[in-house]
Amino acid sequence: MNVFLTSPWIPAEWIRAHGLTSRPLWLEERLSNAPVALSAGVCAVAETTVRFAETHPADAVVFTSACDQMRRGYDEGKFRGQSRVFLFNLPATPTPAARQIYCDELRRLGRFLQEMGGAAPDTKSLWQEIRRAGEARRNLRAIAPSANARSLAEAVAAYHCDGTCSEISTCPSDDRISLALIGGAFPKSDWTLFKSVEQAGGRVTLNATKSGERSLCPEGVDAGDPFEALASGYFDHITDAFQRPNTRLYDWLKPRLPARGVRGLVLWHFTGCDLWRAEAQSLREAFGLPVLLLEAGEATGRSPRDQTRLQAFIEMLKAEG
């Protein structure tokens, strides 16, 4: 059985250690290509996730409480009788009580996985998964600064699927305008944005979406109790907009933006995603960089309107010198 995760902050290692297959739902082709009929204020990601769970009853879907609409989407699924859905209470704060909640939720997820046919994880297999994924993340993080954006995104996607580090093509530095791509879900169907940026004379040197480097933040701890190691390695390194305060996100971006020579920020967001949209002005103020908001849609990154906006943004950055 496939267990589809909706957040990179739930350890895929934990799923695999239960003998089940973990899949990153935010990267799922079937998700991103699904046509969505949205009513007012509904987030497309939450909606497609709910519909995905509905139309894939043989698979399990793990929602999180990090987003209001996702948790309410889970409620809707439960209300309609879905049994293979799980809501992981992902805390927003870094307090000791929040840490305890996180650990409790991991254990509860474990029980759910066993109910779904998974096996209780033994220490050896859990350590194996932790070490393998930790090494893959380290390798990916090491190569990320010089990687081709699309190639890195594909490698990150492969890592989220099986916990391994695949081949990545590098991209020598050149005089194209360096951009950081920031946001939440960035589905595969929207990766044409990388090409659009390149056609406009820029390149993405920092992918801070769920499909990029930011999702590689969890650290592998290599000693002690494996469960504690796994929980700490994730909980202590969640780097996301939903955290309160979300200083970890800004602390993570702070050294990377100048190190990659980033000249502008592209804030990628979905309609109805308040958490990311609200960061636009704060990002501007915190880093003194111009921000272009790109809204995900059926043809974002390829639509003439967005292409023009992207071109204008990059031309403006070029003109600034």
Partner 1 sequence: MFAAPRKLSLADWGERHLQLQQAGRREPFYGGPLRRHVELEKDFRLEQLQFDNSPAALRLWNFFLTENSRLHQARTAGDKIVGTMKDLGTVPVMAYALPGVRAFYPDGAWWTPCLMECSDKLLQQAAAMGVDASFCPVRAMLPAFENGEHFPKPELIICSTGAVCDDFSAIAQRLEHRGHPVFWWEIPRRRAPAVGETSCELPGKLLAPRSQVEAVRAELQRVADALGQLAGKSLGDSALTDGIRAANHIRQILADLRQAVYSAPAAPLPALEMLIAEMLAIHFCSDRPEAGLVLGELLAEAQRRMQQNQFVLPPDAVRIFWVNPVADLRAMNLLEDVGGRLCGTDFMFSHALDLIPESLPPLEALARTALADPMVGPASDRAKRIIRECQTYDAEAVVISRIPGASHCAREGESIREMVRQELGIPVVEMEIPPVCDAMLPTMTSRLEALVETARNKAKGLKPNSL
- Our finding on whether 288 is near partner 1 (CB under 8 A) is no
Piece of 19-27, 33-41, 123-131, 189-197 that binds partner 1 (CB under 8 A) = 33-41
Q: Minimal distance in Å, beta carbon 274 to partner 1?
A: 4
At how many degrees (to 10) do helices 68-79 and 44-55 cross?
30
- Our finding on whether 55 is near partner 1 (CB under 8 A) is no
**Out of 21, 51, 75, 237, the residue judged to bind partner 1 by CB under 8 A:** 75
**Closest to 151 (Cα-Cα) out of 185, 184, 198:** 198
Which residues lie below 8 Å from residue 307, measured CB to CB, with a gap of 6+?
196, 199, 200, 301
- Our finding on whether 200 is near partner 1 (CB under 8 A) is no
Which residue number, 69 or 215, has a Cβ lying nearer to partner 1? 69
- Our finding on whether 22 is near partner 1 (CB under 8 A) is no
**Out of 19, 201, 220, 272, the residue judged to bind partner 1 by CB under 8 A:** 272
Residues 137-156 contacting partner 1, CB under 8 A: none
**Dihedral angle over CA of 49, 55, 58, 64, nearest 10:** 20
Tell me how far CA of residue 48 lies from CA of 26, 30, 36, 103, 115, in angstroms. Answer: 10, 9, 7, 28, 25
Residues 223-252 contacting partner 1, CB under 8 A: 242, 244-246
Burial group, residue 278, by CB count within 10 angstroms (0-12, 13-18, 19+): exposed
Residue 236 amino acid letter: D
Which residues bind to partner 1, rule: CB under 8 A? Answer: 39-43, 46, 65, 67-69, 71-73, 75-76, 78-79, 87, 89, 91-93, 95-98, 100-101, 104, 108, 111, 242, 244-246, 272-275, 277-282, 284-286
